[in-house]
Amino acid sequence: MAYEIDGKSFESDEEGYLIDLSAWNEQLADLIAKDEEIDMTDEHWEVVNFLREYYNEYQIAPAVRVLVKAIKKKFGKDKGSNKYLYELFPYGPAKQACKIAGLPKPTGCV
């Protein structure tokens, strides 16, 4: 599988996760989001950008529990819940948001 932008091809695995992390850009994120039937809002970007920062620092994607806690700390109490994250990413925040962020599929993915 691959994503195409302006004739340039970005390789992904069979589930749509980007192979080359460094090839990621915001345009590509938008395209992956479209495949996931997600309209990227500022709230979506907050989560996606957080995941990228976290991955950069720790070299793995966070567990959902960590993600919820971190979002709560950073963006306020009303955003720090599983429900909020599932509203943004109905098929699982870790799974979908990681895909859009161009990160590998989380192990023990919830």
Partner 1 sequence: MSEVEFDTAGVVKNFMYVNRKAPYGTIYALEVLEAVLISAAFEQNAAIVFVDDGVYQIKKDQDTTAINMKNFSPTYGIIEMEKEDAEEDEDMDMVWRIIVEKESMEARGLTPDDFKVEVEVLSSDELAKVMAEQEVVISG
Which DSSP string do the residues of 68-101 spell out, in sequence order?
HHHHHHHH-GGG-SHHHHHHHSTT-HHHHHHHHT
Residues 90-109, interacting with partner 1 (CB under 8 A): 107-108
CB of 107 to partner 1, least distance (A): 7
Residue 43 burial class via C-beta count within 10 angstroms: exposed 0-12, middle 13-18, buried 19 and up: middle
Among the listed ranges 17-25, 33-41, 53-61, 81-89, the one in contact with partner 1 (CB under 8 A) is 53-61
Under rule CB under 8 A, residue 65 binds partner 1? yes
Active-site amino acid positions: 109
- Binding status of residue 58 toward partner 1 by CB under 8 A: yes
Q: Which residues bind partner 1 (CB under 8 A)?
A: 57-60, 62-63, 65-66, 69, 107-108
